[in-house]
């Protein structure tokens, strides 16, 4: 509820239901446990409770959680089934080689302005494909990259069906097009894994239609 800025929520088990309501600054209210087999007229049924809280949720505005200073609160992800940090990111211009560098991960050995290396402080990616506005196509999604809190585009491949080489080959293509970054093609941001997905991250470019 906090992560999605929702005021109402529902918990359910095999035996019953609990209805939730939250307010900002960590205030959470819970109904008593309602058995699945409860029947009217002793008390409202579970179906009636779901109908009622659904109506409240539809008309309730989003409620982002904030701290005592009014700053948005972001809760780190902890479930391994959810977004994981990237493992590889590109480094900006290599100070030891001036304007040149080498991409040693692939077979391409031409001079480059950026070098791929393992990030010493892996970034956190918030990947929420269920939000309609985040879906850009069958394989492309908007994601948030922390700690910079920037929105980038993630192109993903199912690791169960595709080898990592599919993503790596596309990384090589972007690296060869560095002179066009920010002009004809987006800038490459990074390469890594998002849970069971191979991921390629590129900058987000806003296109304004006339």
**Alpha carbon of residue 7 to chain centroid:** 21
Q: Are residues 21 and 99 in the same domain?
A: no
Alpha carbons 139 and 200: distance in angstroms, whole number:
10
pLDDT per position in the chain (210 positions), as tens? 888 889 999 999 888 999 999 999 889 999 988 888 888 777 788 888 899 999 999 999 999 888 888 888 777 655 544 444 433 344 333 333 333 332 333 333 334 455 566 666 667 888 888 888 898 888 899 988 887 788 899 999 988 888 888 888 888 888 888 888 877 788 888 888 888 888 888 888 877 776
Residue 79 lies in a domain: no
Output the pTM of the full model. 0.49
Q: What is the pLDDT of residue 117?
A: 66
| The two structure tokens encoding residue 78 | 């902890």
Q: What is the pLDDT of residue 20?
A: 94
Q: Are residues 126 and 46 in the same domain?
A: no
The sign of the dihedral angle between the CA atoms of 173, 177, 182, 183 is negative
Rounded (5°) CA angle 13-29-73: 100
| The two structure tokens encoding residue 133 | 């506005």
Q: Are residues 48 and 106 in the same domain?
A: no
Q: What is the pLDDT of residue 162?
A: 87
Domain enclosing residue 34, as ranges: 8-59
Q: Which residue has the tokens 């972001």?
A: 74
Residue 51 lies in a domain: yes
Q: Are residues 99 and 154 in the same domain?
A: yes
Q: Are residues 51 and 138 in the same domain?
A: no
Write phi, then psi, for 153 (nearest 5 degrees).
-100, 130
Helix (H, G, I), strand (E, B) or coil at 54: helix
Residue 1 lies in a domain: no
Q: Are residues 168 and 114 in the same domain?
A: yes
| The two structure tokens encoding residue 23 | 């307010």
Question: Which segments of the chain does DSSP mark as H helices, in order?
Answer: 46-59, 164-176
Residue 69 lies in a domain: no
């Amino acid at each position: 509820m906090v992560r999605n800025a929702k005021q109402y929520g529902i918990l359910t088990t095999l035996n019953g239901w609990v209805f939730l309501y939250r307010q900002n600054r960590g205030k959470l209210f819970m109904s008593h446990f309602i058995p699945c087999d409860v029947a009217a007229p002793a008390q409202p049924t579970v179906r009636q409770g779901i109908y009622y809280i659904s109506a409240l949720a539809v008309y309730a505005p989003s409620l982002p959680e904030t701290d005592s200073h009014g700053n948005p609160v972001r809760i780190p992800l902890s479930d391994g089934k959810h977004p994981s940090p990237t493992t590889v990111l590109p480094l900006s211009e290599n100070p030891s080689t001036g304007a040149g560098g080498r991409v040693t991960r692939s077979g391409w050995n031409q001079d480059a302005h950026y070098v791929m290396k393992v990030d010493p402080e892996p970034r956190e990616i918030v990947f929420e494909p269920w939000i309609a506005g985040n879906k850009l196509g069958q394989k492309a999604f908007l994601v948030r990259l922390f700690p910079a809190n920037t929105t980038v585009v993630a192109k993903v491949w199912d690791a169960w069906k595709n080898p990592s080489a599919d993503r790596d080959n596309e990384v090589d293509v972007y690296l060869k097009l560095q002179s066009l970054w920010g002009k004809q093609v987006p800038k490459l941001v990074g390469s890594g894994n998002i849970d069971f997905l191979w991921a390629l991250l590129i900058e987000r470019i806003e296109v304004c239609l006339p």
